[in-house]
Amino acid sequence: MFYFERRRLIESLTSTLKGMLAMHDSFKGWLEGSGISITEDQFKKLSQYLQLLKAKNEELNLTRITDNRETWIKHILDSLMAAPFFEKLNIRVADIGTGGGLPGIPLAILFPSARFTLIDSTEKKMAAVAEFCHELNLNNVHCIAGRIEDLAHEPGHREDYDLVLARAVAPLRTLLEYAIPLIHPYGYVVAYKGPEYISELALAKTAIEKLRCESPRVFQYTLPEGMGERTLLRITKKTVTSDTYPRRDGIPAKRPL
């Protein structure tokens, strides 16, 4: 009996190892096709992050995606598609509505010289994300639980970031009111959107004008293995934001610009 148990364990470990090696080669190939390169240590950290995320997901609702290949594509690869916007090394980045740490943690692994602030209003989620960063030894990440409507008026956050990231946070016209006050003039927001971004752009016209932004630049891409069309919108801020914005808690979502 011991022999058969041991054989099953060895077969299971061998299968897992083969799966990891196949995933490693596929993932690096996808990244190289997008002009992005990673080190072996970064791949290991990304893999470790996914393991931590899945384990914590049994306690908290951090992600609905649990299939291994799907998490690599829809979480890690999709998050890293913003890599070309890291034009300078020592930039300050805010990831608002980070949830389980996406896209902030994968990008913090890829860009260790950038300084990341991950923000979410749910304290339990941010406690979990802080644990992930500790386990991954990510010294370039700071985690905050709080409302963005409040943080965006505080010194040290208001107009202090070079780049704001937002993935699956809010419709664009609401998102811009949250994000634009955080960046300095000529900083920019990168919003992760799906293929139906055009309607959001049309509705965001007033917000873009009132918040004094340049017209958004649109970058489209397709995730591998038929996992969907995606869009990144880059919105550059032209000048200092009025103290009016963002309005108090809940108002940007209830009465968008």
Give pLDDT, residue 9. 40
Higher per-residue pLDDT: 149 or 30:
149
Q: Residue 181's domain spans which residues?
A: 39-254
Residue 26 lies in a domain: no
Residue 17 lies in a domain: no
pLDDT one-digit tens code per residue, 206-230: 999 999 999 999 999 999 889 899 9
Residue 18 lies in a domain: no
Residue 78 lies in a domain: yes
Higher per-residue pLDDT: 13 or 241:
241
Pairing mode, strands 217-222 and 229-236: antiparallel
Give pLDDT, residue 10. 36
Residue 64 lies in a domain: yes
- For residues 91 and 34, give the distance between their C-alpha atoms in angstroms, rounded to a whole number: 22
CB atoms within 10 A of CB 12: 10
CATH code assigned at 99: 3.40.50.150
The b-or-e profile of 49-79 (16+ CB within 10 A means b, else e) is bbebbbebbeeeebbeeeeeeebbbbbbbbb
Q: Which helix (H) or strand (E) holds 190?
A: strand 183-193
Residue 98 lies in a domain: yes
Residue 149 lies in a domain: yes
- For residues 129 and 146, give the distance between their C-alpha atoms in angstroms, rounded to a whole number: 14
**The pTM is what?**
0.89
Higher per-residue pLDDT: 180 or 9:
180
> What separation, in Å, do the N-terminal and C-terminal C-alpha atoms of the chain show?
69
- Give the chain's domain count: 1
pLDDT one-digit tens code per residue, 145-174: 999 999 999 999 999 999 999 998 999 999
Give pLDDT, residue 61. 77
Higher per-residue pLDDT: 15 or 84:
84
Residue 16 lies in a domain: no
Confidence of residue 22 (pLDDT cuts 50, 70, 90): low
* Closest among 193, 175, 166 to 107, alpha carbons compared: 166
Mean pLDDT of the chain, nearest integer: 89
